[in-house]
Every structure is written in structure tokens, then in C-alpha cells.
Chain A
Amino acid sequence: MKKATLLLTLITLLLSACSSAGTQQAGEEPQNIQTIRLPMGFRENIQFAPFYVAEEKGYFEEVGLNIDFDYSAENDNMALVGAGEREFAVVSGEQVLLARKQGLPVVYVLAWWQDYPVAVTALTASEINSPADLKGKRIGLPGLFGASYIGLRALLAAGGLKEEDVILDSIGYNQVEALAAGQEDAVVVYANNEPIQLAANGYPVTTIRVADYVELASNGLITNEKTIAENPDLVRRMTQAIIKGIADTIENPEEAYQISEKYVDGLSDLDKTIQMDILNASIDLWRAEVLGLSRPEAWENMHRVLVDMGSIPAELDVMQAYTNQFVSP
């Protein structure tokens, strides 16, 4: 009986020692590291390589952050940041102005994509080589809203065309299939994605990039006015870590690809040549003299396009929508 009591006491002591050690180990990290749930606005993808690189190389950890990637929809993310439920989100530039029109106090703090990625692509045989060539053509796009629609409207305006000069078909995210099947003369795509997939599948295409005709505010990081006012240091740490990730990805795409394989489920099963082409095409849209810096012209142009479309009022203050204070060298 005595032996049994002794054994029980020993086991209890051992268990409590293990448990307290475990608690200490687990408890140490959260004291220094702040977990940020970062909504990306799209499913896990090679295009998010800079974020994966920053995470993998410890750039977020260096500044006391742990990133929990969230791949939910862009609109929900904007509302969450606006309501103060999330500190940050990755969104497209035009969304910031549309959201501010509805009173969401969101601010764009880092220009990740320097060039607007939306483009119109058509089979080379159709001889659509410029925005003006789109006159009278049937164009497929995901819907009459969002970045694709806004990009198309900007491109049509650059070619001296109006929406009535073309036939628009809302086809959802079926652009590749619709163009390949000959249902559409041209489709609105992301320059760094669908044209590469189409070419790889034996459909030579000509791509007209919006960025070649008009400079528009593109995808980047947003936060809310409250976070900027109360915790500017957090915003600075976050943007600096992401900029390091972008810089490393531009510097070494091959390494970024290998890192991304850990984060993108099924990436290693996809055709590496196509995925590397997508990454390299994306990198071309991220390059800048000062990474992360927003160009005022891009925001003014976006403002003008949205006002022309009747989506926002002319008096909406575009200067309130973005800031370079966290990325300035």
C-alpha cells in the first residue's frame, strides 16, 4: 500500500512537472509574437509567393508577427477590416474607393502590384491587337462588377470605345473554356494567369494589358483608420516584412517557388513550367524602384474611371484612401 502511494505521488509529480514545462514552452511564444489573420482574397496560389517567402524566411517573426493565411472572399475581408475585426487584408485598389464610398474606414498602405493585372486576351488568329480592335466584338468577363469589369472599362475608354460598342457576356470564371470553345471573341483575364494557361494548352493568344494604356491602383495591403491611429508600428512592421518577401521573390523566383510548394496545396502536382511562367509574369507586375510605394497618378486614374462609371461620387477624397507613410524609404 505504501509502495503504491509512493508510486502514485511520483507519477503525479512527474506529470505536473511535464505539464508545467509544456505550459512554459507554449506560453513563451505568444508573449512576443502577435498572430495576424491575413485575408488574401483568393485561394492559395503561387501568386502569393512573397507572403510565403516572408513567412518561411522569418521576416514576419523578426518583427513579432505570426501570419495565419485566410483565403476567404475579397468583399468579406474588406468588411471585416472596415469593422475592425481584422487588422489587414490583401485587396484590389478599386475596392478601396468603392468601400470608402460606403463609409468603410479602410486605407491602402502597401502597393504590392505596381501594374494593374487585368487584360483582354483573344486568339491570335482573331487579329485583336489593340483596344480599338474590340469594337463590335463579343467579350466574356466574370461579371459586370469588380476588377475585371473596371479594367475593361478603362481599356475601352483608352481605345475610344464605350460599353455599347461591344457585346459583354457575364460568363463567371470560365474565360479559358469560353475562348477555347469559340463562344467569345475575347475574354477579360489576369495578364499573369489565363493567357499563360491558354498558350500552354495550344491556343496562341494576343493579350492587351490595361497597364499598358492606363495606370491604375492595383492589389495591395489595406488596414483601417483605427489601426493606423492606434498602432502605426504594427502597420510599419507588417509592410516592411511583406516588402522583404516581395524583394526576395523578385530576386530569386526559383527559391520562392520551392517555398510556395509548402504553402500551396497541390502546387507540386501542377505543371512547374506553367506555374513558374505565372510567377515570372506576376513578378513583372510587382517590380518598382521603391517596392510598396503607391503612385498618386494610379489612384487619380482609378478615381476618374470609377466616377465615369458612376460607381463613386467625384467628391470622394482619393487622398484619404491610401498612404505611403509606412513604405517610404
Chain B
Amino acid sequence: MLRTSVNHRSPTKPASRLRKNWRGISLLAISLSVGLVIWETITHLFNIPPFILPAPEMVWNSFWLVAGNGTLLRHTLYTLLEVLAGLTLGVTLASVTGYFLAKFPTVEKLLSPYVVASQAIPIVAIAPLLIIWFGPGLVSKILICALIVFFPVLINTIVGLQSVPEDLHDLMRSLQATKRQTFWLLEVPASLPIFLGGLRVGATLAVIGAVVGEFVGADRGLGFLVNRARAEYDTALVFVAIFTLVVLALSMYGIVTLLERRLLAWRQRPEHEILIGS
């Protein structure tokens, strides 16, 4: 019998997992508190003007102001919309293209120069052109996000599909599996761990893509908020927008990690449950 599992972890008891989580949260809280104290001390000790480095309390006040009047939510939702739409488009295109590149070497030879060239072009250089071609609205921002997401997902799709062991393909053939069955029962689950690794990178890059687009030309979104705050020398608001972007990127990363845990739960199950045919 063949095993599909690569990494077998022993199941953790709920009580010890809870303890572990609490320990993690406590350490994070301590780390953040120490960071804030150092930040506050530096601003007061060296008498740093707020337009250079605002104290944490100023950033907090600014946060409450824009959170209370709805400004922050409005800009965050717009950036989130760009990120989700761009990520969906980028991942769809990259996984479909990746499949054909992995399965058909001739297609790979034909398209790989374009794929590699697309990565050599800095996104900040092409973003203004996309805005001219597709207008200053949502479409150009989604395309910028999709472009930045495309490459890591594409590469991981190709690597994932190509890393499926040949003996498993032999097994599927011996079982007279159709192409569709091979795809859904073998290729998708076997390449999923590597594909999701690419998605994790892509999800955080999508946030950067959205901000790049908003920096070039936008009238809403967190990138726009950073630009407007800088134009008004409101450094505390710049910090608020940056921290929100960080939270957004971390959330995207966290969602993909949760998805990964759920989709790859079979990797953590006891060996006898994941044996093919069991």
C-alpha cells in the first residue's frame, strides 16, 4: 500500500493545545507591550516632533478619530475589495495557466519567456500604464493585484503538479482512472500543499498590489489614505493606515493558513486513515 502523507504529526490533546495557544497569545501581548513602551520612551526621551515620529497615544487618538467617523472603514473596505478581486483573478489565471504549463512542455516552452519577462517588469513601472489603459477606477487596481499575485501562484502550481510522484500516476493508470479522476483524486490533493504555499505569498502580495495601484492614482483605499495623510503632514494618520494595512495582510495570511489547515487536515490524521484504499 502507498502512503500519500509526507508529514505525519501526532494528534495534540485539546488541553495542551489550549495551553500552547494561551502561551503564544501571552508572548505576543508581552512583545507588543514592550515595543510600545520603547516607542513611547524614545519619542519622549529624545523629544521627537510628532511629524517625524508621533507617540503611540497620538496614533491611538488618530485611530479613534478615523475609526469613529467611518473614514478608516470606508478606505479599508475598498482596499479589501481590490485585494479579494485581484487575488481571485490572479489565482484563477495562475492556476489554469500553471496546469497547462506543467502538463504540456511545449506550452511551457512557448509561454515561459513571457512569464519570466512579466516578472522582470517592476509593478510600480507598469501601474501608471494600467491606469491609462483601464482607467483610474477599480479595474486597474484589480489588474495590478492580479499581476503581482500571478507569478508565485503560477510557479507553485507548476512545482506542485510536477512533484506528484510518478508511481502514483502509475497506480491511477493501473486502476484505469480517467483524466478527470486523476486530476481530482491525485493531482489536486497531492499538489495542494505547495499550491497553498504560493497562495499564502500571493495573499499578502495582493495587499501590496492594491497599495501600489492606489499610490499611483486613487481617490479611496488605504494607499490613498497614506498619500493624503502624507500630503497633510499627518504622520499619526500615516501610521494608522500602515498598521491597518499590516492587519489586513496578516488577516489574509491567517485566512489562507486556516484554509490550509482545513484542506490539508488529512496530513495530520493517523497513518492508517490516509492510506489509499483505506
Q: A79 near B51 (CB under 8 angstroms)?
A: yes
Give the residues in chain B near A145, CB-CB below 8 Å. 227-228, 231-232
Q: B131 near A83 (CB under 8 angstroms)?
A: no
Nearest CB of chain A from residue B212's CB, rounded to whole Å: 11
Give the residues in chain A near B234, CB-CB below 8 Å. 102
Q: Is B24 an interface residue (CB 8 A)?
A: no
Give Cα A172 to B223, complex, Å.
13
Give Cα A102 to B136, complex, Å.
30
Question: Chain A, 137-176, contact with B by CB distance < 8 Å: what is the 0/1 string?
Answer: 0001011111000000000000000000000111111100
Give the residues in chain A near B219, CB-CB below 8 Å. 143-144, 168-170
Q: Is B50 an interface residue (CB 8 A)?
A: yes
Give the residues in chain A near B49, CB-CB below 8 Å. 82-83, 103-104
Q: B52 near A79 (CB under 8 angstroms)?
A: yes
- When A103-B50, A145-B228, A172-B217 are in contact, do A79 and B135 touch as well, CB less than 8 Å? no
Q: A171 near B233 (CB under 8 angstroms)?
A: no
Give Cα A181 to B135, complex, Å.
11
- When A82-B49, A143-B218, A171-B217 are in contact, do A104 and B132 touch as well, CB less than 8 Å? no
Question: Chain A, 31-67, contact with B by CB distance < 8 Å: what is the 0/1 string?
Answer: 0000000000000000000000000000000000000
Interface residues in B52-67 (C-beta closer than 8 Å to A): 52
Closest to A102 in B: B233
- When A98-B232, A177-B132, A183-B135 are in contact, do A170 and B224 touch as well, CB less than 8 Å? yes
Q: B218 near A170 (CB under 8 angstroms)?
A: yes
Closest to A183 in B: B135
Q: B51 near A102 (CB under 8 angstroms)?
A: yes
Give Cα A172 to B217, complex, Å.
4
Nearest CB of chain B from residue A144's CB, rounded to whole Å: 5
Give the residues in chain B near A144, CB-CB below 8 Å. 219, 224, 228
Q: Is A20 an interface residue (CB 8 A)?
A: no
Nearest CB of chain B from residue A202's CB, rounded to whole Å: 18
- When A82-B51, A174-B217 are in contact, do A104 and B128 touch as well, CB less than 8 Å? no
Q: Is B230 an interface residue (CB 8 A)?
A: yes
Interface residues in A71-109 (C-beta closer than 8 Å to B): 75, 78-79, 82-83, 98-99, 101-104
- When A79-B52, A83-B52, A102-B50 are in contact, do A170 and B136 touch as well, CB less than 8 Å? yes
Give the residues in chain B near A143, CB-CB below 8 Å. 217-219, 224, 227-228, 231
Give Cα A148 to B193, complex, Å.
49
Give Cα A169 to B224, complex, Å.
13
Q: Is A325 an interface residue (CB 8 A)?
A: no
Question: Chain A, 160-203, contact with B by CB distance < 8 Å: what is the 0/1 string?
Answer: 00000000111111100110010100000000000000000000
Q: Is B216 an interface residue (CB 8 A)?
A: yes
Give Cα A174 to B134, complex, Å.
12
Closest to B54 in A: A102
- One of A79, A140, A172, A181 near B233 (C-beta < 8 A): A79
Closest to B127 in A: A172
Give Cα A98 to B50, complex, Å.
14
- When A102-B50, A102-B51, A104-B51 are in contact, do A172 and B228 touch as well, CB less than 8 Å? no
6 additional A-B residue pairs with CB within 8 Å, beyond A79-B52, A170-B224: A101-B232, A102-B51, A103-B50, A104-B51, A143-B224, A172-B217
B interface with A by C-beta (< 8 Å): 49-52, 128, 131-132, 135-137, 216-219, 224, 227-228, 230-235
Which 5 residue pairs spanning A and B have beta carbons closest together? A172-B217, A145-B231, A102-B233, A170-B219, A172-B216
Would you list 10 pairs from A and B whose C-beta atoms are within 8 A, ordered by A residue?
A99-B233, A140-B136, A143-B218, A169-B136, A172-B128, A172-B216, A172-B217, A174-B128, A174-B217, A181-B132
